[in-house]
Structure 1
């Protein structure tokens, strides 16, 4: 089989001529990963903008530059502040870990993070973009300095409860139900550490700027519902992040690394099937909404061979399938995450998933409706920003993991059947991204990255070989591994931010790259017209504490009820009695 990607690369290198960059190849092909003549005819400027702009030869010889990160009194002050306040920082991580609150309901977690920043001199305002648990915290010193943003998240995941520091699966909250046992929520993605380290970095930069009289505005964005990719995508569309010069982001990981690769764009969609309930013992004429959901799940799996590229992902869960076998389910819901390399490619795959839902409804004689709960772009990387961050990471060094931390990591690895390598205790080399994008995760930071230069990095919080969204990550997040990672991540972010203040030429280079990458691309939210974000009504104590009222102006409350009006299915004319 002819690989058009390889073919174009070979054809683009005539004797004595320059090699085409990956970005130019992407512009020609219009896709990453899967390359056909159809794709070549339609360029995808979004994927092209996110691609590396180096030739193969340049990539093979790439070495991270040196001399970007500079020592300065302000940087030393920021790092010293983190060291002096390490107990407060690790204490905040532990506190939020204990709360383990789910997306859109981070009542105590958001307040804890906001109060930490208030004590550092920030002005806090809750209710960002109408979300009760989202807040903006601002610290300004002087005039004319850069405006730097930090990203904070603090939501947990359902079903990932785990006792802190325990090396085998041991849920902290076990839900006893004789028919449906389960586990409570837990920080299986380490967001307790994520929000804490970002807040600590923001506070450290603010204190250092004031001490050394450096004009700057530091903005911290406490974001809700990252696990559902809801909080930032909608906030960006409302202009919340306008006016920033640079945005710094990190995420717990199994390695200490940064780079300038991209992520997948994603649309989250929930399909609701409506049928007619009835006694399971007399099922004739009933219409099972669960049958429809099961048929949809089955049919969507058939998309994988011929409609799902290596850059795509399609995963689902039936989140409402009935309560008892003796009642035909009248309502059933199945939710999908549809991921691809760009919003345009997501839409193509999403249309096919929607068509499957309509077929399932027709076959089951039910009706179906769908609602998009979130949608984000793929991330726009920044090579120059990553190079600056990487040098700061190298200069500071990896997290200072104790013997206790490595012991826990090895216990977890043994429990999961993995090689007992412990924790990643080096700084990974900075390398160019894979020229063939093979898909992966998504982030609502991506929408920010198309509006302001953004850098992301990972610090090792979980053992080598494990994954995020697991109970093993929850075991580490506020135990010895996580407490070392949160301090290291705060230092990496703070040191890089200080360089942006003390070295205006670095910030200019980052902004110049951003302007070049975004030429020909106009960001527009992937959320549908008329979109209203999902929300939960806050408890009264939270509204009083944060000075908010309910409901916010941007949603309809109470939401429209979903009620089936379907009729029993006809079996045709009655049969004549036998004679």
Structure 2
């Protein structure tokens, strides 16, 4: 039985050319062509660099969490509206998601750009500071912490994509090149909610190509895949009581701790090198002398394809049921998001890579390199500074070894999609850290934003001016997807999680609450469990 017969998603994503086995792969040349329209797009980025980096700084300062990016989404939308785009909020029912559209002439390709703007909890950091120094410190004598921060660089991600979209629009109008540019301001990437649900509702239908990037520690692109993922939260319900008289209480926290412990035992015999399993107890009680009546533990279950995720997820669910049985609690679970592995696009990556080589790496200043080395020293890493080269384009490893996940993956099964990384964080550091937040809107981030905008804009202009390039992408896409019937990995009865927006935001964006696709107010989660029986009363001793 072939791989395609057993797992079509992995078969479609696995494409290391034969020449790679002998180490003989050479990226094709002559794909990226100079043109007056491309020069105009790149010149627009240079001429508006101050506006572009200011937008990045503005979103960085807001540092708003997933599904609550009220000011960040508006800042990005205002930038595009000023560039001639028509903006409509409420994409797929999400209050902070929007679609911005620009049209020039009749016909021409329909190109999509991906914008994000959500921050991560607990990663607050002062901009440009080389030691851990949270910008927002949350004082609590029992549970101190830090505010949110752009530890994944989404302030820069959305800004560079918006700048690229605006540059393409301006160049197309200036040189009368027919094109439709659609920019998708997407909420909640960090929880993989925004795009996965939007794809299932047809938001990205009608695109000819989709361009994506992400902050990184290197300047590179490729055509490897990502891991499919399901995010799931388990809720345990017990019975509260005084910690000093615990008999008969049922601790939901005990259940969550048992589940966490038991799930760790899956690693040796049930977790392949392509899999990832991580968890956090996000609700475990407030004070030791009250037995927690409700506890929640959330998991990210990752594997090489949706089918493999399902196998691993079933084992995690079985662990939750065992923990509930042992603790005499009640357990339920809800899937909060689910995405596919990304479908590669070799021809797209080859085009993007040549544009990156022609434009060159980000222009890092001495200030950027000094900050990078201070951060590396603070983290105990070699002081190598920022990555100042364009990485070689190499075929993916024939053996998939796992990694991160992205909600762009679901888009990639519906339209040819390319992704690339531009160095925003120092060599050797990682995303989802305070050190990345230190860089995102300071000297390293400013250079990365401008470079990424140029890489995306130049590649998009090639698709506009060279129809044969777009045809090659679509031909490869059709070949890869011919044996795959994409269907969202979200449950049939899925309702996306949302927060009620402030009244001022609804007025400003012309929306009403609630949207039609959710139940509001949401169902309350309340324990109605009974105290545990200790059996018949003991007879007095005589």
Q: TM-score range by the shorter chain?
A: over 0.9
Counterpart Cα distance in 1 of 2:15 and 2:145: 44
- 1:507 pairs, out of 470, 493, 496, with 470
Match of 1:28 in 2: 2
- Show CA shifts across 1:128-187 (max 9, x none): 000000000000001110000000000000000000000000000000001000000000
Counterpart Cα distance in 1 of 2:430 and 2:492: 35
1:366 aligns with 2:329: yes
Q: Secondary structure at the match of 2:269?
A: helix
1:278 aligns with 2:241: yes
Q: Secondary structure at the match of 2:524?
A: coil
1:386 aligns with 2:349: yes
Counterpart Cα distance in 1 of 2:455 and 2:284: 45
1:417 aligns with 2:391: no
**Deviant stretches of 4+, over 6 Å:** none
Counterpart Cα distance in 2 of 1:532 and 1:387: 38
1:450 aligns with 2:424: no
- 1:205 pairs, out of 162, 168, 180, with 168
- 1:69 pairs, out of 8, 16, 32, with 32
- Show CA shifts across 1:487-513 (max 9, x none): 000000000000000000000000000
Q: Secondary structure at the match of 1:447?
A: helix
Q: Secondary structure at the match of 1:251?
A: strand
Match of 1:8 in 2: none
Match of 1:520 in 2: 483
State whether residues 76 and 159 of structure 2, in contact with CA within 8 Å, keep that contact through their aligned partners in structure 1: yes
Q: Cα distance, 1:398 vs. partner?
A: 0.2
State whether residues 241 and 249 of structure 2, in contact with CA within 8 Å, keep that contact through their aligned partners in structure 1: yes
Q: Cα distance, 1:58 vs. partner?
A: 5.5
Counterpart Cα distance in 2 of 1:413 and 1:219: 38
Q: Cα distance, 1:435 vs. partner?
A: 1.1
- 1:79 pairs, out of 42, 48, 66, with 42
Q: Cα distance, 1:64 vs. partner?
A: 1.0
Counterpart Cα distance in 1 of 2:152 and 2:15: 28
State whether residues 129 and 235 of structure 1, in contact with CA within 8 Å, keep that contact through their aligned partners in structure 2: yes
Match of 2:124 in 1: 161
- 2:148 pairs, out of 185, 193, 196, with 185
Match of 1:320 in 2: 283
Counterpart Cα distance in 2 of 1:493 and 1:131: 26
Match of 2:444 in 1: 481
State whether residues 249 and 456 of structure 1, in contact with CA within 8 Å, keep that contact through their aligned partners in structure 2: yes
Match of 2:91 in 1: 128
- Show CA shifts across 1:234-281 (max 9, x none): 000000000000000000000000000000000000000000000000
Q: Cα distance, 1:483 vs. partner?
A: 0.3
Mean Cα deviation higher: 50-59 or 158-167: 50-59
How many residues align? The count is 542
- 2:314 pairs, out of 338, 348, 351, with 351
TM-score (norm 1): 0.93
Q: Cα distance, 1:56 vs. partner?
A: 5.4
Q: Cα distance, 1:53 vs. partner?
A: 4.4
- Alignment map for 1:277-316 (pairs within 5 Å): 277-316=240-279
- 1:549 pairs, out of 512, 520, 535, with 512
What is the aligned-residue RMSD (CA, Å)?
0.8
Q: Cα distance, 1:28 vs. partner?
A: 2.7
Q: What are structure 2's unaligned runs of at least 5 residues? A: none
- 2:71 pairs, out of 90, 105, 108, with 108
Match of 1:240 in 2: 203
- Alignment map for 1:136-155 (pairs within 5 Å): 136-155=99-118
Q: Cα distance, 1:416 vs. partner?
A: 0.2
1:253 aligns with 2:216: yes
Match of 1:19 in 2: none
State whether residues 120 and 203 of structure 1, in contact with CA within 8 Å, keep that contact through their aligned partners in structure 2: yes
Q: Secondary structure at the match of 1:435?
A: coil
State whether residues 59 and 432 of structure 1, in contact with CA within 8 Å, keep that contact through their aligned partners in structure 2: no
State whether residues 20 and 395 of structure 2, in contact with CA within 8 Å, keep that contact through their aligned partners in structure 1: no
Counterpart Cα distance in 1 of 2:507 and 2:170: 30
- Show CA shifts across 1:450-494 (max 9, x none): 000000000000000000000000000000000000000000000
Match of 1:342 in 2: 305
Counterpart Cα distance in 1 of 2:8 and 2:96: 35
Counterpart Cα distance in 2 of 1:51 and 1:115: 40
Sort the Cα spacing of 1:401 and 1:368 in 2 relative to 1 into closer, same or farther, 3 A.
same
State whether residues 16 and 398 of structure 2, in contact with CA within 8 Å, keep that contact through their aligned partners in structure 1: no
1:176 aligns with 2:139: yes
State whether residues 19 and 25 of structure 2, in contact with CA within 8 Å, keep that contact through their aligned partners in structure 1: no
Q: Cα distance, 1:57 vs. partner?
A: 5.0
Counterpart Cα distance in 2 of 1:81 and 1:458: 21
State whether residues 174 and 183 of structure 1, in contact with CA within 8 Å, keep that contact through their aligned partners in structure 2: yes
Counterpart Cα distance in 2 of 1:389 and 1:146: 17
- Alignment map for 1:49-68 (pairs within 5 Å): 49-55=12-18, 60-68=23-31
Q: Secondary structure at the match of 1:523?
A: coil
Match of 1:269 in 2: 232
Q: Cα distance, 1:59 vs. partner?
A: 5.7
State whether residues 265 and 377 of structure 1, in contact with CA within 8 Å, keep that contact through their aligned partners in structure 2: yes
Counterpart Cα distance in 2 of 1:391 and 1:101: 35
Sort the Cα spacing of 1:53 and 1:361 in 2 relative to 1 into closer, same or farther, 3 A.
same
Sort the Cα spacing of 1:57 and 1:414 in 2 relative to 1 into closer, same or farther, 3 A.
closer
1:429 aligns with 2:392: yes
1:221 aligns with 2:184: yes
Q: Cα distance, 1:578 vs. partner?
A: 1.1
Match of 1:561 in 2: 524
Match of 1:5 in 2: none
